[in-house]
Amino acid sequence: MTVVVLLAAGRGVRMRSERPKVLHEAAGRPLLDRALDTALAIAGSAARVVVVVPSEGDAVTAHLKSAHPNVRVAVQGPPRGTGDAVRAAAGAFGKAKTVVVLSADVPLLSAAAVSVLVDALKADEKAAVAVLTARVENPAGYGRIIRDRKGACVRIVEEKDSSSQERKITEINTGTYAFDRAFLEKSLPLLTSKNSQGEFYLTDVLSLALRAKRKVATLEGDSSSALGVNSREDLAAVERILRDRKASDAMRAGATILRPETVTLDETVFLGADTVLEPFVTLLGKTRVGTGTVIGQGTVVKDSSLGRNVTVRPYCVIESAAVGDGAVVGPFARLREGTDLAEGVHVGNFVETKKAVLRKGVKANHLTYLGDTEIGERTNVGAGVITCNYDGFAKHRTTIGRDVFVGSDSQLVAPVTIGDGAIIAAGTTVTEDVPKDALALAREPQKNLPEGGAKYREKKKQPR
């Protein structure tokens, strides 16, 4: 049996953040959740994963309790190093044969790499620990793997404790280990904090193993999966890798992405075949895009579903909305939460919708606010129409029937209902319900003063 310990109690000082490092997000998900996925995949059950947290009441613990309630936590208290952190989890080792230790700030590690590491430990009875290493171009900040002349790993030296010679070594410790549980248990109390950081280093267990005539196994993994996040730059590097991967996956699945390097896709986004993403499109959260849909330049979509063959023109912002097949949106439209556009709806430029249900074939093409409203099939909403849904105290609903024509620059003062087939004259302020097929007209009758324009010009001494 294997117990997986996930270290998440560090301060993450180098992030310079109020937020705990492991709760920083890469491609829309906290680092901790990514590492936890790996831990769960290795352990096979949540019961065998222990996350080391800084305290009972901190943000990391709160996040775990709400997002992963079945995972065990062990409280470290003030962070005094990775060795001290593993010590905090020792109570959960039980009689496990192997203890895998992962760092929550290494988000790209795969479960497959760890299982090969566990195999490497098991392959040699004398091995007390197996360490996953990587060769990287820039090893700065990582612990370096020190090998003897025969190539055996003899210790790991932290950057801050290293000599200039050691700093040249490009093989680094990924912070991923498989330990013989019995040996680890015996070694943890022997760790000291005699080093430049005054911390209990887990890596010192390696030297203890050699002293006990046991062996240290190493396995070299690939360099990108080793990426540890200690700074905002590291976070950006991880983000870039994840986004590139996602864009490649989407293209392989049949999406056209015109300038992949400019597009931002969360991993949780689904793109159907033959969708087209123009440059600088951002798709976030649980967004789903149907087959044949085109999303115009600079558009941001979050937690929304777009149907098939939808056209989203450039620079729209769409959040928690549903857009039906063949609908046309934008440019410059804003669809807010609770917007539900049926098949073939047109929502044009500078239109804002919120909690708005627009039935099949509705058109609202220009400069309009539609909030807390339901609009029946084929109704046409003219330019500049506003549902006045807020009276300063509460929100009210506007219900518009089918085949209605709402003339330009009308205000619909909610609560109000407009019957099927009604026509609202341009510039009308609707304050009362309009019956089916009625014509509503509420504006000052127009006066024309003969020659009034000419007289006015004369008064201003302006030629025509």
377 belongs to the binding site for ligand UD1 (CB under 6 A) = no
Whole-number minimum distance, CB 91 to ligand UD1, in Å? 15
| Residue of 8, 40, 51, 99 interacting with ligand UD1 (CB under 6 A) | 8
Tokens matching residue 27:
């491609």
230 belongs to the binding site for Mg ion (CB under 5 A) = yes
State how far the Cα of 24 lies from the Cα of 28, in Å rounded to an integer: 9
176 belongs to the binding site for Mg ion (CB under 5 A) = no
Give me the 129-168 binding string for ligand UD1, x by CB under 6 A, dash otherwise: -------------xx------------x-x----------
Tokens matching residue 4:
């997986």
DSSP H helices, 254-337, are none
324 belongs to the binding site for ligand UD1 (CB under 6 A) = no
| Residue of 203, 264, 305, 339 interacting with ligand UD1 (CB under 6 A) | 203
Q: Which residues contact 246 (CB under 8 A, 6 or more apart)?
A: 27, 265, 266, 267, 269
Phi-psi region of 14 (alpha: psi -120 to 50; beta: other; left: phi over 0): alpha
Long-range CB contact pairs, 450-457, < 8 A, 24+:
none
Nearer Cβ to Mg ion (84/377): 84
Three-state DSSP state, 179: strand
278 belongs to the binding site for ligand UD1 (CB under 6 A) = no
| Residue of 114, 172, 205, 321 interacting with ligand UD1 (CB under 6 A) | 172
Rg (CA), the chain: 32
Largest CA distance in the chain: 111
| Residue of 5, 9, 40, 129 interacting with ligand UD1 (CB under 6 A) | 9
Closest to 362 in 3D by CA, of 375, 374, 351: 375
202 belongs to the binding site for ligand UD1 (CB under 6 A) = yes
Closest to 226 in 3D by CA, of 127, 132, 86: 132
Q: Which of residues 25-64 bind ligand UD1 (CB under 6 A)?
A: 52
Nearer Cβ to ligand UD1 (132/277): 132
Q: How many residues bind ligand UD1 (CB under 6 A)?
A: 30
Q: Which residues contact 255 (CB under 8 A, 6 or more apart)?
A: 271, 272, 273, 274, 275, 276, 277
Asked if 388 and 414 count as a contact pair (C-beta separation under 8 A), the reply is yes
Q: 104 contacts which partner out of Mg ion, ligand UD1, none, CB within 5 to 8 A by kind?
A: ligand UD1
State how far the Cα of 383 lies from the Cα of 102, in Å rounded to an integer: 58
76 belongs to the binding site for ligand UD1 (CB under 6 A) = yes
**Piece of the chain touching ligand UD1 by CB under 6 A; list 72-80, 186-194, 278-286, 294-302:** 72-80
Q: 79 contacts which partner out of ligand UD1, Mg ion, none, CB within 5 to 8 A by kind?
A: ligand UD1
228 belongs to the binding site for Mg ion (CB under 5 A) = yes
376 belongs to the binding site for Mg ion (CB under 5 A) = no
Q: Which of residues 99-128 bind Mg ion (CB under 5 A)?
A: 105
Active-site choice (24, 63, 68, 366): 366
199 belongs to the binding site for Mg ion (CB under 5 A) = no
| Residue of 201, 246, 306, 327 interacting with ligand UD1 (CB under 6 A) | 201
Asked if 158 and 139 count as a contact pair (C-beta separation under 8 A), the reply is no
Whole-number minimum distance, CB 216 to Mg ion, in Å? 21
Q: Which residues contact 447 (CB under 8 A, 6 or more apart)?
A: none
Q: How many Cβ atoms from other residues are within 10 Å of residue 390's Cβ?
A: 12
State how far the Cα of 131 lies from the Cα of 118, in Å rounded to an integer: 9
Nearer Cβ to ligand UD1 (71/202): 202
State how far the Cα of 338 lies from the Cα of 359, in Å rounded to an integer: 14
| Residue of 82, 187, 275, 417 interacting with ligand UD1 (CB under 6 A) | 82
> Using the 8-state DSSP alphabet, how is residue 390 labeled?
B
Angle between helices 59-67 and 31-43 (to 10 degrees): 50
- Residue 346 known to be catalytic: no
260 belongs to the binding site for ligand UD1 (CB under 6 A) = no
Nearer Cβ to ligand UD1 (58/433): 58
Tokens matching residue 264:
């931002």
Residues that bind ligand UD1 (CB under 6 A): 7-10, 22, 52, 76, 79-82, 84-85, 103-106, 142-143, 156, 158, 172-175, 201-203, 228, 230
Residues taking part in catalysis = 366
